[in-house]
Amino acid sequence: MKVNEGRDPTTAFRELADVLKGRLDTETYQRIALSVLVLKWASDNPGQLTVPAKASWEHISNNMAFAPGDTLNSALWALADENNQVLGPPGYLPDFTKGPTTSELQKLVGLTTQISLAEHELDASGSEKWQGLVEHLLPLPGKTQFALRTPRSVIDLMVRLVQPKNDQSFYDPFMGSGGMLIAAKEYVSEKIGKPATLTLVGQEMNAGAFTIAQLNLLLHGITDAKLYRDDSLAHPRHIDSDGQLRHFDHVLTNPPFSLKYRDRELDFPGRMEYGWGPEKNADLMNVQHVLASLKTEGTGAVVSPHGVLFRGGSEQEIRRRMVLDDRIAGVIGIGPNVFYGTGIPACILVLNGKSRDPSNQPQGIFFINAEREITTGRSQNHLDPRHIEKIADTFLRKRTLAGFSRWVPLAEIAKNDFTLNIRRYVDTNPRPAPMPDPKAILQGGVPAEIIQAESDRFLAYGISIATLFEPRDDEYWDFPASGYEAVLARIPALTSSAEHDFGVRAAGWWRRTAERLTELSGEGAILVNRDQFKSSFHSALSESGILDEYQLYGAFADWWDGKRGALKRLGLGRSSRSETQELLDELGDNLLALLNDLVAAGRQELINLYRSWGEQYAVSLHELDVRRHAGASRLEKRLRQLGYPSPFRQ
């Protein structure tokens, strides 16, 4: 059996999943598959863990003919025993002799043998270490299974909202498969261009999820995280030397919704300084646990059901006290069917430590209603990079966008009895369409006011309003004598010059950027410079006005994140000159095609708008009446010619 043939990990992960899924329950096969990968990873990355002889991959692969379950058990338990600070006691690990068959284990090991898990080889191939591993290897649990993970897109958004920095501490009290901890380290590592130094602490009550988190972190090269298995709400384990709760720079978490709890069973009851909610629902207790775990200048983010924003009784009082104490910095509504295992929409609460000085700015909360910032899928909706870019940028810059975001002062929240219902403050429902102008309907013409309101959109595409209409007076303009349908047919030709100029600008930016990427090749600094590339992209293309600010930022985000592997390969500088050029061509073609699609979509919107005006205003009631009378006269004349009496006279 050949070792380390270096197959594409993504394809291999899918094949690994196919070996076991369907027959074994989700948790069992997840733990088994990840454990096999950890054994391989330990051998492929010498120095990361202590690997005893019986845990080496060579020993494992050479002893698969007989009793493969015993061989794998012996290897995994030996590895755990030598690295108990990382893998914990063997009792949490899976038993390979229970569940999978001999042939399944042999096939699993055979497939894994073909994958090189050495970090330098993964980097060289452009794979993002193990970002997306859970999505590829571990299919979504059924509704009866425990929820292992938060969608990676939501995790990436939450990390961006709190902006972690190197050497900071990071805690997830409901860590599931460990995605929050992994994403935090990857985010900071990319920002600084080298492996980040973060203090990572996690806790998880479910034994299966806890084991998967251990294994998942190892596969991402994280060997120094401190993980605890226990109920975080009842028995938090992050305790300092004085026996007090430890505090962190950042706390990010997605607790299970609507769990029951008993206040008399909770350690450190002082955490609940804002009050006790109903024991049938621990949602706001979990939020208070996050608040109690933050440093005075820390920031946190927690996923919660919308009910925490408006439920009454004791929960309303908890909410009131948290708001008055300035502990809630933001409330962000996420669209429906984004989170695994539930179709209901959820929200992200962005939380403050206790250090904010209210004298620096008025007290209030920043609301974002992002329920429409989703891409609809067949069974699951998801956030794309462009959605994350818009939400995070808007929050960090505290920008007010109509129907999307606004900062709400404390007085307004208090006036609404401290409800934080997002739609109360930011309603995404479109404004009702204005009623048709009665005079225009009766006498013809298009109101100049609605034309002028859209003139900049047409002008960005090189179309003067004078090309579309003929002024009648200050209040109403007429369609050209040729008719609005004739103008509609000409719009693509009218926009071609502006679209060409935009394409030239985009190609020019790409040409300069490709040169810069070539200069950075081999320095490992390409991903570090993301914000600089984004800024220059916006500067180069915003002046045309064809795409607005967030269309440009969104296009850049979709392109950059979608081509991160190619960008990483360029940054490593291990490709030949021809391979480098192929990568650059791939990147450029993809970006320009994406922009071309957006420009074409904008042109179609103008066509649709002009058509709607034509359908509404091109023929007045007066003209229809004239046409009706003319038609009646012709009919009457023809009937007389045929010897019939007029149908219009008594």
Q: Report which of 388, 303, 390 is spatially closest to residue 348, judged by C-alpha positions.
A: 303
- Token pair belonging to 563: 């081509």
Name the maximum alpha-carbon separation found in the chain: 112
pLDDT at 248 over 70: yes
Q: If you write DSSP's letter for every residue of 77-117 in order, what string do you get?
A: HHHHHHTHHHH--GGGS--TTSSS-HHHHHHHHHHHHTS--
10 to 24, 132, 221, 406: CA distances (angstroms): 22, 9, 18, 41
**The residue to which tokens 């690997």 are assigned:** 51
pLDDT at 620 over 50: no
Q: Do 368 and 391 touch, CB atoms closer than 8 A?
A: yes
Q: What percent of the chain has pLDDT over 70?
A: 83
Span 517-543, pLDDT tens digits: 999 988 778 999 999 999 999 999 999
Q: Report which of 247, 178, 242 is spatially closest to residue 206, judged by C-alpha positions.
A: 178
Distance of alpha carbon 278 from alpha carbon 263, whole angstroms = 9
- Token pair belonging to 168: 């900071």
| Mean pLDDT value across residues 422-434 | 79
Q: Do 349 and 328 touch, CB atoms closer than 8 A?
A: yes
Give me the helices (H) in 205-337, please.
207-219, 283-292, 314-324
pLDDT at 1 over 60: no
**The residue to which tokens 């539930």 are assigned:** 342
Q: Comparing 396 with 120, which gets the higher pLDDT?
A: 396
**Residue 125 has what pLDDT?**
52
By three-state DSSP, how is residue 276 classified?
Answer: coil
Distance of alpha carbon 141 from alpha carbon 30, whole angstroms = 10
pLDDT at 17 over 90: no
| Mean pLDDT value across residues 462-484 | 90
Q: Do 133 and 148 touch, CB atoms closer than 8 A?
A: no
- Token pair belonging to 579: 């391979």
pLDDT at 626 over 60: no
Q: What is the pTM of this model?
A: 0.88
89 to 20, 79, 83, 207, 214: CA distances (angstroms): 25, 10, 9, 12, 11
Identify the band that residue 146 occupies on the pLDDT scale cut at 50, 70 and 90: very low
Neighbours of 410 (CB within 10 A): 16
pLDDT at 143 over 50: no
